[in-house]
Structure 1
Amino acid sequence: MPGTPGAAALDPRTKLVLLLLANLMLFLHAGAATQAIMTALFLLPLVAAGRRRMATRFAALYTVLAVAAMLDPESLGAPWLHVIPALAVGLGMMLPCLITGAYAVSTTTASAFVCAMRRMRVPESVVVPCVVVIRFFPTIAGDYRRIRETMALRGLVSGRFAALRHPMRMLEHVLVPLLMNAAFVAQDLSVAALTKGLGRSGVHTSRTTIRMRAVDWLFMLACAAPLALDTAGVIG
């Protein structure tokens, strides 16, 4: 579930800018040095927001991908291993998008997001689907945990690597129920959003207060600087 915004959390609009910068880095094919710098910067808000375990996992994954990308199959006498560095490079380029997306979803409440969208004059026809998406994934994650707990109590599947040891059983007892429940969850969340008046026209008020602080502007500039320098050819 998304946490309540605190003093350490950036403004939702800043989080959207970080997500945009991560995608621009992917589409502009930024160099390895730029990727490393921006990935480290993107991990800082996770640590500041108390998501240290998530930040550690992302950092470890990026390190593994960076090492795998430097693998030389020819020197190992196994040319068929070229697929490993190619995959590592692709996943490493997408990882900043996952980091910024995970940070935005895990630290932004639906009310803060709605307030930010209205400050940006985004139409309600866009705000309502976005709110449904934000609430959809945490709800599905909660359903997944409950299904796993139920399966463990019944002795069907248990353990961290149960999906690898019992793939067909996981498909039957986890994936199929989740897919069947996803449509109902999306419908219920849409109805809940409309019931709260998100789709009504006119002036809306909010109990959630958001504002751009100096740290938001400074951090956006710090994250945009490496990409701008890479585009100018200064770093790569």
Structure 2
Amino acid sequence: MAFHFDPRTILYLLLISQIILLLDVNVFIEIVTVMILIIPFFISKQFKWGLIIAVIYSLQLCMAFIFLPNIHNAVLLYPLSMIANGFRELIPGIIVGIYALKLTHSEEWISLFKKWHFPKYFIVPFSVIFRFFPTLREDYHQIRNAMAFRGIERGPIAFIKHPIQTFEFILIPLLIKASQVAQDLTISALTKGLSMPVRQTSIIQLQLTKTDFVYMLIAFLPIIIYLGEFI
């Protein structure tokens, strides 16, 4: 299994990303933050996600500092400015969120919440929601495969040509499946005893490694740079 950080490290990185957002740092510190937060994808051999985020962020920088200064049409300026500047500030938090969903198992989060004595009414819904969207995505692919098997046209062109038919063949089955998936996942969580009012244990033992501590120190570097500007 590819290396991944402890869930507590992920929460720490999320905290750092939000502090950077609140401090409204300059572009240099923002770039340093994004570069530091992208590194876990490459450490965990998730090169695809790392490259995708790096390309999107690079395009946002190019749009903000190369294209936007030359645009004087307000109709284009405002939406492009939102993409290049507004959404760009959210990139650090989005990176950590993607990493948490892709490379941290729900069992690890549940084990952490049990260790921190989170209430049952938080753990059970979290367990359901964390598994809901990946399961629903698999069902969506199965629906698309079933459409292809029956010779039903699919894809963006099919949506443009037959929007009502596309909604009928995809959206309605997906909504029905979503209700069933939510019910099944809730039953699964309750069957595992997550709602029992007793002390619970977990087979997954969380442990912070040297790599976690070293990376926590590295992730704090943008804040040190920011504070250094006032010294």
Deviations 1:176-222 (A, max 9, x none): 43233323222221111011011112222222122011211221222
Q: Equivalent residue of 1:206, what SS?
A: coil
Q: Which residue of 2 aligns with 1:10?
A: 5
Q: For each residue in 1:147-197, what CA deviation from the matched residue of structure 2 results, as whole angstroms up to 9, or x when unmatched?
A: 2222222332345x5577557254333234323332322222111101101
In 2, Cα distance between equivalents of 1:131 and 1:37: 34
Partner of 2:178: 182
Q: What amino acid maps onto 2:212 in structure 1?
A: D
Amino acid at match of 2:87: L
Deviations 1:107-131 (Å, cap 9, x if unpaired)? 1222211111122222222122112
Q: Tell me, yes or no, if the aligned pair for 1:42 and 1:100 is still in contact at 8 Å.
A: yes
Task: State the partner residue of 1:40.
Answer: 35
**What stretches of structure 2 of length at least 5 have no aligned partner?**
none
Helix, strand or coil: the match of 1:197?
coil
Q: Secondary structure at the match of 2:140?
A: helix
2:54 & 2:7 partners in 1: Cα distance?
A: 23
Instruction: Measure how far apart 1:142 and its partner are.
Output: 0.9
Which residue is equivalent to 1:108?
A: 104
Which whole-Å deviations, capped at 9, do the CAs of 1:121-146 have from their partners, x for residues lacking one?
Answer: 22222122112121112111111211
Q: Counterparts in 2 of 1:11-160, with a 5 A limit?
A: 11-73=6-68, 75-76=70-71, 78-83=73-78, 84-158=80-154
Measured on the aligned residues, the alpha-carbon RMSD in Å equals 2.5
**TM-score, structure 1 normalization:** 0.84
State the match for 2:207 in structure 1: 211
Q: Is the Cα–Cα contact under 8 Å of residues 71 and 77 in structure 2 kept in the other structure?
A: no
Q: Secondary structure at the match of 1:202?
A: coil
Q: Which moved more, 1:118-127 or 1:53-62?
A: 118-127
Whole-Å Cα distance in 1 between the matches of residues 194 and 171 of structure 2?
Answer: 31
Distance 1:178 1:187 in 2: 14
Q: 1:175 to 1:56 in 2, by over 3 A?
A: farther
The code of the aligned residue for 2:144 comes to: R
SS at 2:77 equivalent: helix
SS in 2 for 1:70: helix
Describe the shift of the 1:127–1:177 C-alpha distance in structure 2 as closer, same or farther (beyond 3 A): same
Matched residue pairs, number?
A: 228
Q: Mark the CA change 1:61 to 1:73 in structure 2 (over 3 Å): closer, same or farther.
A: closer
Cα–Cα, structure 1 residues 73 and 229, in superposed 2: closer, same or farther, change >3 Å?
closer
The letter of the residue matching 2:29 is T
Query: Sequence identity of aligned pairs in percent?
Result: 29
User: Which amino acid in 1 is paired with 2:190?
Assistant: L
- What is the TM-score of this pair, normalised by structure 2? 0.86
Whether contact under 8 Å (2:154, 2:166) holds in the other structure is no
Structure 1: runs of 5+ lacking an equivalent: none
Seen in structure 2, the aligned counterparts of structure 1 residues 78 and 9 have a Cα distance that, compared at 3 Å, is same
